[in-house]
């Protein structure tokens, strides 16, 4: 009979889960003993960075990924990154080692007492197997649940003395032979009814969210927008790019206040939302949820998202399948095609450069297939205005807004998509949350370009302070950070630039390199310049 450890690796092979991200401790060593050569272990120097790297890898590859963490303390370190993974619905099987079973009741050192409770709000399922022989079944269930829509992280606590126990070979064979699928199209009658509403609408508008990109409906969204000649907005605080930003129908990203969002959609009588919550607001700005005379229909694969929406109708279905059916069911519009939005004028060159000027320079050197990871939060609106993204899988952002995602996720994305150049645009404050991921990029030879936007502050907090009428807040300033020195300390080549010409040259060099590189550029704060 195989051991539980052998059975678990065989099971993971059968499910195609062969990439681990982690930061192991003593409780995890029995599982990793004699690590099989056909598996890959990607080490993060901090648990938060390890989860964020896994998050990026799983989103970019579409694969379920195993995350290997250490007991309660390691899991605790990873919780911030787990918030982002939950919100982005990333299929992660998060494991943490547990003390030997007999040691848990006496609360020995590194015992994770109440192990399943710690991550419970952030995962679809949290489990510690009752018996050693139940471990393979728990891992199997975790893999299936993580991948079923709506996808998301799950958690399994694994006692260190379970791995040498004997597994049930017959049960293992049954588990290995299973497949579980969950894509569901809407009923044809539901599709027809929605198509008729779109056909009757005087001025429909299309709002697309991250699941359009995640579920492979990018091209379907374009076809629907073109067929009905609808203007297209991206949902607020989006974590993916679900529509080409250089398309004539594209209008921009919706604001995050209730009143402002409703006002932006004013004049439309039907709002079709696909692959986004309705809506993910941020700052409190009371007002009507919908413009006068407008109705809303949302297509989502998440029943909870459908149920909690404060307005409109909802269709729970696979977003890609729903949009493909809708493209076939709607009639071609005879109205005028939307006029392309006016691109902003080139930003003036200042010293230090503005964020606008930096993004103009970046847009000018990016290859068409580039993947962008953004965690420069104070100027993300400027980013969307000035950087072109025209292909599926071109953009990633922290879904829950938790800092520490961007720099580390870019490493995972680069590992998953080696054929596409990856550029991570990171604020100097954000970079500190997962700076050890630079070492992982060097260690595994992942040629990510890290562009650090350095304004010496948590500038986004100053922006919010102005909105809230708050002044004199401590802890905003970030003097003395030297990201080039930090990069070199992790073995990465770095360069600080100040002029537009130097920036363009440094970005071209980094994009042409087969090794990771860091470029740091000082930028003005948002309150100092409005280009």
Catalytic residue check, 282:
yes
| CA 411, chain centre distance (Å) | 13
Please tell me what DSSP assigns to residue 70.
-
Catalytic residue check, 144:
no
Spatial CA neighbour of 234 closest among 127, 383, 351, 130: 383
Q: What share of the chain is helix, strand, coil (3-state, %, to 5)?
A: 40, 20, 45
Cβ pair 92, 146 in contact under 8 A: yes
Catalytic residue check, 25:
yes
Assign 308 to helix, strand or coil: helix
Cβ pair 5, 31 in contact under 8 A: yes
126/95 Cα distance (integer angstroms): 10
Assign 5 to helix, strand or coil: helix
Cβ pair 335, 200 in contact under 8 A: no
Please tell me what DSSP assigns to residue 45.
S
What's phi and psi for 388, nearest 5 deg? -85, 130
The active-site residue out of 70, 144, 268, 483 is: 70
Q: Is 345 exposed, middle or buried (0-12, 13-18, 19+ CB in 10 A)?
A: exposed
425/406 Cα distance (integer angstroms): 8
Catalytic residue check, 528:
no
Give 472's strand partners: none
Cβ pair 285, 257 in contact under 8 A: yes
The active-site residue out of 6, 47, 226, 305 is: 47
Catalytic residue check, 48:
no
The active-site residue out of 6, 28, 214, 375 is: 28
337/109 Cα distance (integer angstroms): 67
Assign 50 to helix, strand or coil: helix
294/270 Cα distance (integer angstroms): 5
Spatial CA neighbour of 64 closest among 29, 100, 13, 30: 13
The active-site residue out of 76, 252, 401, 456 is: 401
379/106 Cα distance (integer angstroms): 51
Active-site residues, by number, are 25-26, 28, 47, 70, 282, 401
């Amino acid at each position: 009979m195989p051991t539980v450890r052998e059975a678990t690796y065989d099971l993971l092979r059968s499910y195609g889960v062969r990439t681990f991200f982690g930061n192991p401790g003593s409780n995890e060593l029995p599982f990793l003993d004699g690590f099989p050569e056909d598996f890959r272990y990607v080490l993060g120097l901090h648990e938060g960075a390890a989860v964020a790297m896994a998050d990026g890898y799983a989103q970019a590859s579409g694969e379920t990924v195993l995350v290997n963490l250490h007991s309660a303390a390691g899991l605790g370190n990873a919780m911030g990154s787990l918030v982002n993974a939950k919100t982005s619905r990333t299929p992660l099987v998060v494991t943490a080692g547990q003390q030997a079973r007999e040691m848990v009741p006496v609360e020995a050192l590194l015992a994770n007492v109440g192990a399943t409770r710690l991550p419970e709000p952030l995962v679809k399922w949290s489990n510690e197997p009752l018996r050693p022989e139940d471990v393979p079944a728990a891992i199997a269930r975790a893999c299936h649940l993580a991948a079923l829509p709506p996808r998301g992280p799950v958690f399994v606590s694994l006692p260190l003395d379970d791995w040498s126990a004997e597994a049930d070979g017959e049960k293992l064979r049954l588990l290995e032979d299973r497949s579980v699928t969950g894509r569901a199209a809407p009923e044809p009658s539901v599709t027809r009814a929605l198509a008729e509403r779109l056909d009757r609408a005087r001025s429909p508008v299309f709002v697309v969210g991250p699941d359009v990109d995640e579920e492979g409906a990018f091209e379907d969204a374009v076809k629907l927008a073109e067929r009905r000649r609808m203007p297209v907005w991206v949902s607020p605080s989006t974590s993916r790019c679900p529509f080409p930003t250089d398309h004539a129908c594209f209008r921009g990203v919706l604001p995050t206040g209730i009143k402002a969002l409703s006002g932006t959609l004013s004049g439309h009588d039907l709002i079709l939302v696909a692959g986004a919550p309705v809506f993910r607001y941020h700052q409190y700005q009371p007002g009507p949820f919908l413009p006068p005379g407008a109705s809303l229909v949302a297509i989502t694969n998440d029943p909870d998202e459908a149920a909690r929406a404060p307005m409109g109708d909802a269709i729970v279905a696979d977003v890609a399948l729903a949009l493909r059916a809708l493209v076939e069911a709607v009639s071609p519009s005879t109205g005028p095609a939307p006029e392309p939005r006016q691109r902003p004028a080139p930003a003036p060159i200042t010293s230090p450069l503005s964020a606008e000027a930096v993004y103009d320079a970046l847009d000018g050197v990016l290859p068409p297939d580039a993947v962008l990871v953004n965690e420069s939060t104070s100027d993300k609106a400027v980013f969307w205005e000035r950087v072109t993204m025209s292909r599926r899988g071109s953009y990633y952002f922290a879904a829950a807004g938790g800092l520490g995602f961007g720099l580390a996720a870019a490493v995972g994305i680069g590992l998953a998509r080696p054929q596409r150049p990856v550029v991570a645009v990171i604020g100097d404050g954000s970079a500190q949350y997962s700076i050890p991921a630079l070492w992982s990029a060097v260690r595994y030879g992942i040629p990510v370009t890290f562009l650090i936007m350095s304004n010496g502050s948590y500038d986004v907090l100053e922006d919010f302070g102005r909105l809230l009428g708050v002044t004199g807040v401590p802890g905003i300033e970030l003097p003395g950070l030297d990201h080039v020195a930090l990069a070199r300390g992790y073995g990465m080549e770095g360069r600080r630039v100040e002029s537009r010409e130097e920036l363009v040259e440094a970005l071209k060099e980094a994009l042409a390199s087969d090794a990771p590189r860091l470029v740091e550029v000082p930028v003005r704060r948002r309150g100092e310049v409005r280009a």
